């Protein structure tokens, strides 16, 4: 199995790659984990991962700055239906647009916008950072047999999902925030599985075995 983790200048690539390698070992799966900025590598991969750290607009621009990368993503994920996993801003990029420091176009794979977190309780700090318990809204293969329910978040903007059936899990931070989205062969988490210890490794292992 070949797993392509996209390097476009935004993401904890080393920690993400190590988490995928460890999850593959623990699941007894033979997996070649490749961090790459080459669109051709996506075409050779069996599964595709899009990490992301920072501002939505910067991440969108960085992705589009790689010639052919957006086209390869759309071809391999949307047309060929390869399993796809987005992490943090990588998940947010699945949205139609992001409203962080202006309006920035996303990949448009799921309807909705990425908006600033505005907690009703003004004493809550932004960014939303730390461990929170997930509220599972519907079953999904990536969440099967979870050994824990807490995940690690760090973000100031959140995906306001316009399609309720695409929302898999949420977290409460003085109001509901999308924690996981999924549709067909695509899934993404606002939290960082590579930092979420047991839950994160189990989720990654499920992704490596997922046959959507």
pLDDT tens digits, the chain, 212 residues: what are they? 999 999 998 777 889 999 999 999 999 999 999 999 999 999 999 999 999 999 999 999 999 999 999 999 999 999 999 999 999 999 999 999 999 999 999 999 999 999 999 887 878 889 999 999 999 999 999 999 999 999 999 999 999 999 999 999 999 987 899 999 999 999 999 999 999 999 999 999 999 999 99
Return the SS3 of 113: strand
Which pLDDT value is given to residue 174?
75
- Look-up: residue for tokens 């501002």? 55
> How do strand 2-6 and strand 32-36 relate by DSSP bridges?
parallel
CA distance 169 to 190: 10
Return the SS3 of 154: strand
Tell me, yes or no, if 59 is annotated catalytic: no
Which pLDDT value is given to residue 120?
78
Per-residue DSSP letter, 31: -
59, 76, 88, 155: the catalytic one is 88
76, 100, 113, 194: the catalytic one is 194
For 65, other C-beta atoms within 10 Å of its C-beta total 12
Which pLDDT value is given to residue 21?
97
CA distance 113 to 8: 22
> How do strand 186-189 and strand 112-116 relate by DSSP bridges?
unpaired
pTM of the model: 0.95
CA distance 56 to 62: 10
Angle (CA) 80-83-88 rounded to 5° is 125
């Amino acid at each position: 199995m070949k797993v392509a983790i996209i390097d476009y200048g935004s993401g904890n690539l080393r920690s993400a790659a190590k988490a995928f390698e460890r999850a593959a070992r623990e699941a007894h799966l033979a997996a070649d984990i490749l961090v790459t900025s080459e669109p051709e590598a996506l075409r050779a991969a069996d599964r595709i991962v899009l990490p992301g750290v920072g501002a939505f607009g910067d991440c969108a621009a960085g992705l589009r700055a790689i010639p052919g990368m957006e086209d390869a993503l759309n071809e391999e994920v949307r047309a060929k239906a390869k399993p796809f996993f987005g992490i943090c801003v990588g998940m947010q990029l699945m949205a139609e647009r992001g409203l962080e420091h202006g309006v920035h176009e996303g990949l448009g794979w799921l309807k909705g916008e990425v908006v600033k977190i505005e907690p009703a309780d003004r004493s809550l700090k932004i960014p939303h950072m730390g461990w929170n318990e997930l509220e599972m809204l519907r079953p999904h293969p990536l969440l099967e047999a979870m050994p824990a329910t807490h995940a690690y978040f760090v973000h100031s903007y959140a995906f306001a999902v316009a399609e309720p059936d695409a929302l898999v899990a949420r977290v409460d931070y003085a109001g509901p925030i999308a924690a996981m989205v999924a549709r067909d062969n695509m899934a993404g988490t606002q939290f960082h599985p590579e930092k979420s210890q047991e839950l994160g490794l189990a989720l990654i292992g499920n992704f490596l075995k997922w046959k959507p």
